[in-house]
Amino acid sequence: MKQLKLTGFIFFLCFLTESLTLPTQPQDVDNFSSTQKFIEENLEYITIIAFAQYVQEATFEEMEKLVKDMVEYKDRCMADKTLPECSKLPNNILQEKMCAMEGLPQKHNFSHCCSKVGAERRLCFFYNKKADVGFLPPFPTLDPEEKCQSYESNRESLLNHFLYEVARRNPFVFAPTLLTVAAHFEEVAKSCCEEQNKVNCFQTRAIPVIQYLKAFSSYQKHVCGALLKFGTKVVHFIYIAVLSQKFPKIEFKELISLVEDISSNYEGCCEGDVVQCIRDTSKVMNHICSKQDSISSKIKECCDKKIPERGQCIINSNKDDRPKDLSLREAKFTDSENVCQERDADPDTFFAKFTFEYSRRHPDLSIPGLLRIVQIYKDLLRNCCNTENPPGCYRYAEDKFNETTEKSLKMVQQECKHFQNLGKDGLTYQYLIRLTKIAPQLSSEELVSLGKKMVTAFTTCCTLSEEFACVDNLADLVLGELCGVNENRTINPAVDHCCKTNFAFRRPCFESLKADKTYVPPPFSQDLFTFHADMCQSQNEELQRKTDRFLVNVVKLKHELTDEELQSLFTNFTNAVEKCCKAESPEVCFNEESPKIGN
């Protein structure tokens, strides 16, 4: 496999505007040659991402065989583009070759997908992806010295392994994001391998890369879940709100054109079509930069950038200043006599315009908060337009909007108050108990992860001036992860109802949930309450993971206990660990104390 020119690769992601499929129609010569060069140099890396995400259990060696097949396919088509197989989409070719690998479909349980064709096969492979990657071994780690030796002696192999391991643990992350992470990883390796204190360098420099991956993973899964459960219309409204806040001077027509590009991008990316995802992502970035004068004054420097910062820069740029002539409210949606007629003439465009006008006037609100107001307005007009005096009915819409926002604000203020009173650890235990009670069917690892992410929302946001929007946005992402990407995911009737009924009101729905009454706890096992001296040898992070898992498993086992009773049991556990780890013989101490914990 050729050495990855990662810098040029990310450059390509940002600037390529034409199809990345193998061309069969005449095209502009420059774009044709760029596409051919891209495929020739980087098909291997597209294959690694796609295969590792589709078949997460596959070994690195199996992945290498597929890469070899795809390279040979590419070489045949480069030599003769008229071959029938060269007219097929790369993603279809990739899946065909996966299905043709001897014994692989049966070994990794995707043979049922191979019996399907076209869109059905593509969706089957998508639904085969597993969000909970607890079945995979721990992420392989190398000592920094070993990592640097590997980088210097076989840079290509290290990057391939890294991309493979990251992709299969993040099956829903979009290819451009994974490639950016790989670019950052190489930057870190190159820089830290020149440092004397390599350990400290890797630990420090890796943190923002991990945060970048987690943030994009969470958001992409959230929007893909919305797309698959509620359709493209919800994605349209999410991005009308997002872009109206970020680019408040954009014209409505331009906004809708950009939103359509983004929605198209999500369809390919969410389905796992890596090539289509790269193409559409590039198209969106080009769209923004080609119209930057009419979109935003804050992105000129971003669009001047080359590699690889362009896309990240646009995403992370500040919201543009609100136009000086923009009134505080748009009266035509509440004061006009003809609101019902305008709605009836073209409902989608009417509510899109409302979302645009309201969002760009309220940059302080969260995206879920804005979508809740849109839903309130829809419901209000549905009632008002059937009355004898519609204008007299919807004239008070602003009061309804303010009431909705006030409810959401109070919820966030209460949560931040809990954080201030309980502290990070106390709030973590509270959320682990709450999440396990409402969704005990989830694995312990998934519940621990969700609990930590929810608490991170509060530790990140509760001291910021934009506390409300920050908490509401991040908490909504966590609930999106709980609900999952797959539209067929079921947890229990109450949770499924909140996940699938109304996207905008998902969070208020979850707030009202009680312990799941349909859940049947597992048989009692004393093993859960049996501890050994190795607890005392755990490092801080590992001890915390064991502690969190214990709490979740206790809630699953003793589902009927009140929060106070669970907290008391948990206190017994932490006291026993502290006592026994100070004892002369921790093992003897644990043998004596363990039976008392569950009683």
274-283 tens-digit pLDDT = 888 877 877 7
pLDDT of 567 higher than 90:
no
208, with CB counted inside 10 A (0-12, 13-18, 19+), is: exposed
Mean per-residue pLDDT for 196-212?
A: 89
Residue 39: band (very low, low, confident or very high) from pLDDT cuts 50, 70, 90: low
In a domain, 320, yes or no: no
38 occurs within a structural domain:
yes
Please give the pLDDT value at position 308.
46
pLDDT digits (tens, 9 = 90+) for 116-126: 998 899 989 99
pLDDT of residue 28: 33
* pLDDT for residue 511: 92
For residue 394, the model assigns a pLDDT of 94
When pLDDT is averaged across residues 344-354 and rounded to a whole number, the result is 96
* 578 located within any domain: yes
Q: How many domains are there within the chain?
A: 2
Angstrom distance (rounded) from CA 514 to CA 366: 25
CATH code, domain with 536: 1.10.246.10
Element (H, E) at 591: helix 586-597
| Domain assignment of residue 184, given as a range | 28-194
Q: Residue 371: its pLDDT value, please?
A: 96
Which residue, of 194, 223, 238, is where some domain finishes? 194
Above 50 in pLDDT, residue 92?
yes
Question: Which residues participate in the annotated binding site for Zn(2+)?
Answer: 273
- The whole-number average pLDDT for the span 220-233 is 91
Beta carbons of 279 and 20 less than 8 angstroms apart: yes
346: buried, middle or exposed (CB in 10 Å: 19+, 13-18, 0-12)?
Answer: exposed
The pLDDT of residue 11 is above 50? no
| C-alpha–C-alpha distance, residues 215 and 230, integer Å | 22
Query: Residue 82 domain-assigned?
Result: yes
| Domain endpoint, select from 170, 194, 218 | 194
Q: Which range has the top average pLDDT, 316-325, 335-344, 581-590?
A: 335-344
| 391 CB-contact burial (10 Å; exposed 0-12 / middle 13-18 / buried 19+) | middle
Q: Residue 216: is its pLDDT beyond 80?
A: yes
Looking at residue 43, its pLDDT comes to 79
Residue 313 is assigned to a structural domain of this protein = no
Residue 160 falls inside a structural domain: yes
pLDDT of residue 487: 74
In a domain, 363, yes or no: no
pLDDT in tens, 164-192: 999 999 999 998 889 889 888 989 999 99
Q: What is the mean pLDDT of residues 374-402?
A: 95
Domain stop point among 194, 215, 237:
194
pLDDT of 508: 93
pLDDT band at 111 (very low <50, low <70, confident <90, very high): very high
CB 146 within 8 A of CB 201: no
Q: Residues annotated as binding site?
A: 273
pLDDT for 536 equals: 85
Higher local confidence (pLDDT), 254 or 85: 254
| Per-residue pLDDT at 145 | 87
| pLDDT for the residue numbered 315 | 78
Residue 323 tokens read as 């136009």
Q: How far apart are CA 514 and CA 407, in angstroms?
A: 20
What is the mean pLDDT of the segment spanning 513-535? 86
Q: Collapse the DSSP code of 321 into the 3-class scheme (helix H, G, I; strand E, B; otherwise coil) and give the result.
A: coil
Poorest-pLDDT segment among 23-32, 135-144, 413-422 = 23-32
* Residue 216 contacts residue 353 (beta carbons within 8 Å): no
Residues in the chain: 599
Query: Mean pLDDT for the chain?
Result: 86
Residue 321 counted as domain residue: no
pLDDT at residue 37, rounded to an integer: 57
